[in-house]
Structure 1
């Protein structure tokens, strides 16, 4: 990895949770869930790419016994806070407290042109969104009158007919996804955790993210340790030189996609790679994907990602992320639910990474 462990600690945890993805809803989802839990994963995460994120969560909760299951992430602005509050309440009640709500903003183009949602500055809007969801949950939990009035969202009507049954557990924790200090401050102020963008290196987390989380926490008189950091970045493992080379190329392809987005340029500027953003953006518009991969250097892959043998990566996750992150994403099994050939090895690596 080449990065020293971060010095600023935000949590008092002995072990770091190791998480993996549910790759959308399929006929194999139940097998994937059971396989992941048998390997020792602590959590399953359902994203929103070419799929709806909440349906896999329901199956994940139904067919696991102990694992946390989270949306990671569900795009917030196309959904009403009331709709999300309902889904979160139901999933949390159904699972006896194992659901986590992960939210993200997506970028301007996707909101306006894919979801047909008006765009506004995302950090203050996300802050209001989280507060709206919490206000709705508070009304359902306490019976207090619903009276949330913000710039973007207004919720002032709730009747007994539309109030869900009581829960025997706490409301779900809310995590927000972010790359820059603005969203990190919002997480520190009002969220239960920050889902770190894949472009966040350990040094970037330490120098940019953590100070912003602490600043946000101070604004609401919270202990920064109340805001967990969850890492979901790049990993390349290989037990042979050739396998590692292939894995690093796959990581380079993912980095080239993110690094072509102008919104993510600050993370590149931090490492002195800002100039590559414009070149990658131009190639992406032209659809020249192979040429994009070639612009991503080994230095970028090794700085932004964890690379090496399985045991080397497991120890690096433990040493570099363990002091600051409550969880790390590691998809070491390419075909969960189908490929059991590496089960013993993967379980061993997960235990090392947990610390």
Structure 2
């Protein structure tokens, strides 16, 4: 199994030292998020200050950026990192696209499928010198001259992973993506009964096998060096689970466990702005459904119990404010857990 963590994003001057610390510890990769800060800038610093770690966006929001803009970002980071970049994309919801990013909204699944196709067409043109000729419903790219073509690089274009929650997006991930980043609001039962069948449907559509798709996430990892640190992390994650549980879009997860009443209670509390009281609704039993929990000396066993046979990669951090601190031996124990994924295609 692969183990990722988050990378500092609020202070670019701290990135070089942090990426070297994480590389020395033995992590497989780092991820950035598109929340308060740009997800690409820290990865540029990390690319030229590390040698081994995979560097990924987990995730960057697709539609506010033209596929051409995204193609440039991906190409440059792949070149700078010498082939270690992973472009993770997400669609976000309608409200954020229209009101936070001020971009038009349309059905996200067909649009993202076309977006990924456009990205790969641009990269193929840059890689092979073939004329750029992509004509879709949402995107059209037909102009590429030497002045706008990046310098050649000896690496394949970066793999494209995507966030997926609903059935249609999960099927799309299986069909066209190199990897899928699952939402952490996920239980093992939901993973088995709802997520994997949809991914397999997409894989079957494309004539692919499971080993070609990196499946990451699908739950929380709650850990710390001491019992007190674990307890603090538990309360942080209890709050996150309560927040997600109040949102109707995530209720299919609760329904797998006959916990719809919990979602309805949280939703009613959210509408009354009772945010501080909501974590108390999440019992320890419910918390265990969503999390692998344990001290550093316990967490590898807990991750194996919670994720083995399902996920190929997990992250020990849900925020750059909580940087990964796993000891090197624990990371090795996690990496020894078997996974289905056999690596990104050389043509990714």
TM-score (norm 1): 0.88
Q: Residue in 2 aligned with 1:353? A: 334
Post-superposition shift, 1:267? 1.9
Partner secondary structure for residue 325 of structure 1: coil
User: Aligned runs of 1:86-101 on 2, under 5 Å?
Assistant: 86-101=72-87
Q: 1:168 to 1:135 in 2, by over 3 A?
A: same
Q: How many residues align?
A: 334
Structure having greater relative contact order (Cα 8 Å, sep ≥ 6)? 1
Give unmatched runs, 5+ long, in structure 2. Answer: 337-348
Task: Give the C-alpha shift of residue 229 in structure 1.
Answer: 0.3
Aligned CA-pair RMSD: 2.2
Q: 1:307 to 1:335 in 2, by over 3 A?
A: closer
**1:67 corresponds to which of 34, 38, 53:** 53
Please state how far the C-alpha of 1:334 moved relative to its aligned partner: 6.9
> How far, CA to CA, are the matches of 1:300 and 1:153 in structure 2?
44
**Displacement after TM superposition at 1:121 (Å):** 2.2
Pair 239,34 (structure 1): closer, same or farther in 2 beyond 3 Å: closer
Cα deviation code 1:169-223 (max 9, x no counterpart): 1110000011222111111110001001101222222221111111111112222
The 3-state SS of whatever aligns with 2:102 is: coil
The Cα of 1:243 is off from its aligned counterpart by 4.4
1:202 equivalent among 160, 176, 188: 188
Q: 1:246 aligns with which of 232, 252, 257?
A: 232
The equivalent position to 1:193 in structure 2, one of 153, 172, 179, is: 179
Runs of 5+ unmatched residues, structure 1: 1-15, 338-342
User: C-alpha separation between the residues in 1 aligned to 2:134 and 2:171?
Assistant: 22
Q: 1:312 pairs with 292, 298, 306, which one?
A: 298
CA pair 50-88 structure 1, distance change in 2 beyond 3 A: same
Q: Retained in 2: the 8 A contact 1:76–1:105?
A: yes
Classify 1:59/1:23 alpha carbon distance in 2 versus 1 (closer, same or farther; 3 Å). Answer: same
Q: How far is 1:79 from its partner? A: 1.0
User: Of 116, 120, 127, which residue of structure 1 is paired with 2:113?
Assistant: 127
2:327 aligns to what SS in structure 1? helix
Q: CA deviation at 1:239?
A: 6.1
Instruction: Tell me what 1:260 maps to.
Output: 246
Q: Could you tell me how far apart the structure 1 residues matched to 2:265 and 2:155 are?
A: 50
Query: Which among 82, 88, 109 is matched to residue 102 of structure 1?
Result: 88
